[in-house]
């Protein structure tokens, strides 16, 4: 595994090499890459399996934020074929692929911005999200985490599998580049674009705890996604 110093050098070089590349609108980005998406994301097979294992057995009704084609759901349904899922995603083509894969499942799909979706009150046994939330600023995530907390039943869990920044330098470097690119292209605040702006573990846990969760990092295997379990106690 490469050192943090080498990782940051490589990241800075990549940012320099792509400095003139425009940001892509979120749904368009994934639509263009739909055919190769599952193969590309398959590098995290162990993380998807671990994600499913961490979902409490008692869960019967879950909300999946940024569900895409449902790679995490493939594993969850292997564990519990009868679980009911509502999947929210910006990309209708990805939701189509998910429905084609699992026509027999208890599945409701919603093509929408999940920041605007009504989670209800004490409605879900679990809310899950895998490799989606690192595209958004902490201010938006803080409000989302409050909605998730309110939408969960007592004793429910928010299961987050995501990309975390290795350090504050990475976090600040990516966020600064993201802000500058949006400003340069005059992109309205309400338009979602595909660019990674992950938080450090400390900052991610702080946001979750400010929303009322008791949160801890559970899984951090090398070259795999980080997994955080946040409980509504």
- Region 167-191: mean pLDDT is 94
Q: Is residue 37 part of a domain?
A: no
For residue 2, the surrounding DSSP H or E stretch is none
Q: What percent of the chain has pLDDT over 70?
A: 99
Domain span including residue 100: 45-163+198-231
- Region 192-220: mean pLDDT is 95
Cβ atoms 72, 45 nearer than 8 A: no
For the chain, the C-alpha Rg in angstroms (whole number) is 17
Question: Which pLDDT belongs to residue 220?
Answer: 83
Q: How many domains does the chain have?
A: 1
Res 223 pLDDT > 90: no
Question: Which pLDDT belongs to residue 90?
Answer: 95
**Which of 26-30, 43-47, 133-137 is most confident?**
133-137
- Region 48-71: mean pLDDT is 96
> Sorting pLDDT into bands at 50, 70 and 90, what band is 222?
confident
Q: Is residue 169 part of a domain?
A: no
- Region 146-168: mean pLDDT is 97
- Region 61-87: mean pLDDT is 97
pTM of the model: 0.95
Strand 61-65 with 84-89, pairing: parallel
CATH number at residue 57: 3.40.50.150
To 10 degrees, what angle do helices 168-185 and 4-17 make? Answer: 10
Q: Is residue 3 part of a domain?
A: no
């Amino acid at each position: 595994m490469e050192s943090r110093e080498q990782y940051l050098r490589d990241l800075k070089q990549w940012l320099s090499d792509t400095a003139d590349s425009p940001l892509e609108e979120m749904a368009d980005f994934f639509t263009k890459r739909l055919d190769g998406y599952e193969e590309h994301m398959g590098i995290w097979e162990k993380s998807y399996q671990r994600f499913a294992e961490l979902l409490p057995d008692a869960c019967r009704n879950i909300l999946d934020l940024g569900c895409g084609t449902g790679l995490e759901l493939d594993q969850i349904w292997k564990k519990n074929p009868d679980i009911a899922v509502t999947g929210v995603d910006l990309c209708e083509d990805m939701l189509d692929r998910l429905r084609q894969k699992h026509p027999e499942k208890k599945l409701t799909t919603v093509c929408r911005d999940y920041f605007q979706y009504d989670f209800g009150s004490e409605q879900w046994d679990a809310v899950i999200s895998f490799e989606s939330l690192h595209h958004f600023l902490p201010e938006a995530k803080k409000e989302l985490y409050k909605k998730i907390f309110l939408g969960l039943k007592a004793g429910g869990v928010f299961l987050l599998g995501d990309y975390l920044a290795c350090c504050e330098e990475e976090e600040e470097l990516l966020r600064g580049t993201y802000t500058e690119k949006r400003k340069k292209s005059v992109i309205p605040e309400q338009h979602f674009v595909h660019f990674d702006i992950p938080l450090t573990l400390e900052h991610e846990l702080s946001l979750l705890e400010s929303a009322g969760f008791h949160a801890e990092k559970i899984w951090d295997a090398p070259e795999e996604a980080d997994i955080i379990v946040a409980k509504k106690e």
